[in-house]
Amino acid sequence: MKITFMGAGSSVFARNVLGDCMCSEALRDSVFALYDIDGERLEQSRTILEAIRKTKGGYGKIECYLGVENRKDALRGANFVINAIQVGLYDPCTIIDFEVPKKYGLRQTIGDTLGIGGIMRGLRTIPVMADFARDMEEVCPDAWFLNYTNPMAILSGYMQRYTGVKTVGLCHSVQTCSSDLFNQLGMEDKLEGRRELIAGINHMAWLLEIKDKDNNDLYPEIKKRIDEKLNDPTFENKVRLEYIKNFGYYCTESSEHNAEYNMFYIKSKYPELIERYNIPLDEYPRRCVEQIANWKKDYQEMLEKGVREHNRSNEYASHIIESIVTNTPYEIGGNVLNEDRLITNLPKEACVEVPCLVNGMGIRPCYVGALPVQCAAMNMTNINVQLLTIEAARTLKKEHIYQAAMLDPHTASELDIDTIKKMVDDLIEAHGDYLPKYSC
């Protein structure tokens, strides 16, 4: 069996996901193909994964493929392809995504999923993933494509609608949603045996039902406890608790992410909201700088002291692959096309996040039905942007980029239409060859 990792220079993530595969008796004998366009980072990942492979018994084989000219060979014959690329990296593209909008008074926290940052990130990533898809259709047409790259719904939705590649989008936030909430509210005693239903869209999927092991609804107790946290000036998860208070349900992704997915919290005319809700502006660039520095330190430490023991994580990828290979049932929260009306009050073109059953037949999404109307309405404010960004990438028409930005909740709440268009033009110019050429 062959498992190919696209963007293997994402060394920490490659270590976690492929290290997980090496922990599985069913997967450890695989060929692990590492692909990247950065030779230094590719070699670092190879070094780490070789060390893990040896500590796990020396099973399997690692192969490295550097550069676009070797991409097709990296994919050839793959059974599973894991995607974790970042087109344009932190420098220059993430810096551009934050600094250009800042000149127009538009501030962001993460900028990788929605907002103007998410739009630009999607536009520069779709062409690369379209190239992956063409190669896969030729050299590994039956492979599953496991996408971890953001903006999740934009990229997975494009692959699902406009390529022949079997694609599922995977995120970390579903696994930890209710456990994080319980730990923050002092309800740890309810963790064991809990039952939950989560559905919506990536980073804004809703904890629709949450029950204890005896089937008792836990939302009444959750709602009793949120005011104390909202009144605590040091508490950092306030946006999501505000969702419970105003929309009735908790959502999957962090408050710093969700602060920029709507028109409520980051507002230049109400600067006091930033402090009130503990919103970390420019958070993603700050994390990038820290992660780059920490990685250099960790890699040097590993060279000197050897690799640390790797224990299997709760990342979905290895469990999905193992489930399909061994025909062992497994459940995930997956990002899939809504074409079968899995969520009946969201459009069929949307990429939705719903429970999926995995076994030897592949990945099968589950029917959810209608979301509460207010939750569907919140999701639609994001879906509008996602669909228009995909349309811009597909047609190469600049007007759809304008429209995506104009309909983005945060952008539209801060800027007028003419300013939005000028900002988009400046971003396109600043990104240069990282973007294709658009017609007016």
Cα 300 versus chain centre, distance? 28
Rounded Cα distance between 12 and 9, Å, is 9
Catalytic residue among 172, 203, 257, 310: 172
Residue 241 — φ and ψ, nearest 5°?
Answer: -70, -35
Measuring CA to CA, which residue among 413, 329, 47 is closest to residue 18? 47
- Identify whether the C-beta of residue 202 lies closer than 8 Å to the C-beta of residue 353: yes
Buried b (16+ CB within 10 A) or exposed e, 213-241: eeeeebbeebeeebeebbeeeebebbbbb
Residues with Cβ within 8 Å of residue 337, at least 6 apart in sequence: 157, 160, 161, 348, 349, 350, 351, 352
Q: Under the phi-then-psi rule, with left for phi > 0, alpha for psi from -120 to 50, and beta for the rest, what region is 232?
A: beta
Q: Is 400 a catalytic residue?
A: no
Tokens of 2: 């062959």
Rounded Cα distance between 222 and 253, Å, is 17
Angle at 302 between CA 30 and CA 309, to 5 degrees: 55
Measuring CA to CA, which residue among 270, 220, 285, 227 is closest to residue 248? 220
Cα 296 versus chain centre, distance? 24
Residue 335 one-letter amino acid: N
Residues with Cβ within 8 Å of residue 293, at least 6 apart in sequence: none
Q: Which residues are catalytic?
A: 172
